[in-house]
Amino acid sequence: MAEEKFPGWHGTTIIGIRKGGKVVVAGDGQVSLGQTVIKGSARKVRRLSPGGHDIVAGFAGSTADAFTLLERLEKKLEASPGQLMRGCVELAKDWRMDKYLRNLEAMLIVTDGNDLYVLTGAGDVLEPEHGIAAIGSGGNFALAAARGLMETDLDAEAVARKAMAIASDICVYTNGNLTVESIGG
């Protein structure tokens, strides 16, 4: 459909914070179609257990596309248990080279409690600086807020919650209905 007829889905902010030996991934619940909020309580942060190893993942973008990527990531991690980086790189290679996967429109933040990565359809597996990863419509707002909060005495979860609250005050595609998962520490 033409962009003017179908304005597109918007509305996600996902943040990952690594601080004090703990990693927290938080995501808001808003899904918007153009200027209309379609759902305010979507769950975009999930706990996975491929091969018995805990992984927390958050996604921004198309839900069906993200679930496809999460299923593929689980398979990669089952093939190489406990090797998050290897599984992420293998997924990114497939995502970039496979004709079907190449068209998927989503981004992922994944962590095993030690490592924290952002995966994109451009073939990127990024380890963010400063222990903060953020994606989605309000990602840059949450990232900026978290960067400022990292120097405080707040723990990882408090930083994530406060950064998401700031993002939801600024970004019309982000709400305060959070799903928060922590791992490690």
Distance of alpha carbon 15 from alpha carbon 147, whole angstroms? 11
What is the token pair recorded at 159? Answer: 């930083």
Q: Tokens for 128?
A: 């963010």
Q: What angle do CA 132, 48, 163 make, to 5 degrees?
A: 25
Q: Can you tell me the distance from the alpha carbon of 131 to that of 95, in angstroms, rounded to the nearest whole number? A: 25
Q: Are 115 and 108 in contact (CB under 8 A)?
A: no
Task: Tell me how far apart the alpha carbons of residues 31 and 40 are, in angstroms, rounded to a whole number.
Answer: 6
For the question of residue 12 being annotated catalytic, the response is yes
- Residue of 12, 13, 111, 174 marked catalytic: 12
Active site amino acids: 12
